[in-house]
Structure 1
Amino acid sequence: MLPILYQDDHVVVIHKPAGLLVHRSELDRHETRFAVQLLRDQLGRHVHPAHRLDRGTSGVLVFALNKDGARHLGGQFERQEVSKTYLAVVRGHPAEQGRIDHALTRRRDDAEWVGSRSTDEAQDAITDFRRLATCELPHAVDRYPTSRYALVELTPRTGRRHQIRRHLKHIAHPIIGDATFGKGRHNRLFQELFGCQRMLLACARMQLVHPVNGQPLDLFAPLDGDFARVADALGWQAALPSAFFTSLYAGAT
């Protein structure tokens, strides 16, 4: 069963687990489990995803329960009217806060994929970040005798594909567990130390407008599973806003 964060007659919001595709993908033809299919079977009715999360990203995922609602919600995302807050564990100690303003070449959607995943077309992309906590582990991974990591809160101001992951790589603070844009040696260290088998990126909060009554929706997905265990092991609970760790181990397996 997918954890439901909010539901009414028009909208349903789930806490998507890491590793689950939102919908069928040309790039993962062998996969048989998708959030759309699982939620449809769980509710016994059609559902329409209003946006997407990368397969490795967990957190708030919004669906409409009819096509009109899907158009309304999708329009909010397209017009960048939705506020999104992500949490990530990254390599190194980034600045206390900052803005990454770095254009990104366009990466095709799965439906557009015809053999090349990107084009030379650059799109404006902006991500704000705030460092919440840091640690230094007594393990030599790169050329230093210890390894540094940080918990970061991120707010994307644009909606480019893989934006947060690519932006953090751009500033040399890639996300732990990111097999595409991260560093394998650091990913393996977290696997060995914490049994962490996922990318440590989560959509922890989303703020948007209800497609029918116009009321604001403020949606939270507290950390769970491997992400929660890493945050606990590194003593980072106190650095998290209360809504992000109130149910720290909810849904953990």
Structure 2
Amino acid sequence: MNTQAGLFDRSVGATQHASTAVDPNPLVELFRDPYLLAVHKPAGLLLHRSPIDRHETEFALQYARALNGGEHVYPVHRLDRPTSGLLLFARDPDTASVLGKAFMAGEVQKTYLALVRGWSAEAGLIDHPLREHAIDRRCKDDPQPMREARSRFRRLATTEIPVRLEGYPSSRYSLVELYPETGRKHQLRRHMQHIAHPIIGDTNYGRTRHNHYFAERFGYSRLMLAATGMSFAHPVTGEPMTLRAEPDASFTRVLSVFGENLPPLPGGAGQDSAGP
């Protein structure tokens, strides 16, 4: 942990996360103080109970509570079930209230990594309003207004694979860093689809042929979206904080498609890193 100038920095590497396979708790603790608990959530784990997935019995919330000695924890933001990475909890209601307001006010900066179809621009802003999902509304026939939604992106690497999937002799992919400026449901996934660079492994907004190719090549399927960073003012001390979560093994293994083009990743991952 780096505490210089009030900056807290903690990462979890692929080796650390892979080693938790024998641990019944799938969460990896990244940071803890009297007010906050930050963990790495694996892909496929729900945050809490949902009417959409009534059959599920395991949730990140219950595992975080176990890490907290059985005491209640309070989720302060969302992380979609298929998305892996950094998940933050408050350890008391007052801290949860302060953080919740900070998220609502856009005072928390979040960072994600994603593997997407095609070669994206080097950087850009996606300013594209989104409508609330009908499945989230009690009255599905009540039309909802479009809400502003903005996401920034930065391309980190590109690759071209000699595999014909959509009529072209080869297939192109980009590794991008994403920065949502608003917090709409599935915002990053929908925005990347909007600019014709859907995220690999996205069964809702992605390209089926590309998803199948990666699933067959690596022997498993997952959404290639990982929450890797979060910066905000500490809800009690006011000091600036940056929390980081290095992508886990299931994510970094797929990035081998970039070969020597893969740079060191934010948070310490990458082919030239031995991990923390």
Q: Give the TM-score taking structure 2 as reference length.
A: 0.84
1:5 equivalent in alignment to 2:30:
yes
1:46 equivalent in alignment to 2:72:
yes
Structure 1 residues 106, 180: closer, same or farther in 2, change over 3 A?
Answer: same
Larger relative CO (CA 8 A, sep 6+): 1 or 2? Answer: 2
Q: What does 1:127-142 correspond to in 2, within 5 Å?
A: 127-142=151-166
Partners of 1:68 and 1:189 in 2: how far apart?
A: 47
Q: Deviations over 1:147-180 (max 9, x none)?
A: 1111011111111111100000001110000011
1:19 equivalent in alignment to 2:47:
no
Q: What does 1:59-74 correspond to in 2, within 5 Å?
A: 59-74=85-100
One-letter amino acid matched to 1:73: L
SS in structure 2 at match of 1:227: helix
Q: Which has the higher strand share?
A: 1
1:6 and 1:14 in contact (8 A); partners too: yes
Partners of 1:57 and 1:117 in 2: how far apart?
A: 29
Question: What residue number does 1:91 align with?
Answer: 117
Q: Deviations over 1:13-52 (max 9, x none)?
A: 0011111111111111111111001111232210000101
1:139 and 1:145 in contact (8 A); partners too: yes
2:168 aligns with one of 144, 148, 165: 144
Structure 1 residues 176, 118: closer, same or farther in 2, change over 3 A?
Answer: farther
Partners of 1:117 and 1:156 in 2: how far apart?
A: 29
Partners of 2:141 and 2:214 in 1: how far apart?
A: 29
Question: What residue number does 2:20 align with?
Answer: none
SS in structure 2 at match of 1:243: coil
Question: What residue number does 1:29 align with?
Answer: 54
Pairwise CA RMSD of aligned residues? 2.2
Partners of 1:123 and 1:80 in 2: how far apart?
A: 15
Figure out how many residues of one structure are paired with residues of the other and give that number. Answer: 249
Structure 1 residues 14, 170: closer, same or farther in 2, change over 3 A?
Answer: same
1:155 equivalent in alignment to 2:155:
no
For structure 1, which runs of at least 5 residues remain unmatched after alignment? none
Question: What residue number does 1:189 align with?
Answer: 213
Partners of 1:157 and 1:122 in 2: how far apart?
A: 16
One-letter amino acid matched to 1:132: L
2:158 and 2:261 in contact (8 A); partners too: no
Structure 1 residues 242, 159: closer, same or farther in 2, change over 3 A?
Answer: closer
Q: What does 1:163-242 correspond to in 2, within 5 Å?
A: 163-235=187-259, 238-242=262-266
Question: What residue number does 2:10 align with?
Answer: none
SS in structure 1 at match of 2:151: strand
Q: Give the TM-score taking structure 1 as reference length.
A: 0.92
2:41 and 2:60 in contact (8 A); partners too: yes
Cα deviation, residue 119, structure 1:
4.2
Q: Deviations over 1:90-138 (max 9, x none)?
A: 0011111111111111236x7x543639943101111111111111111
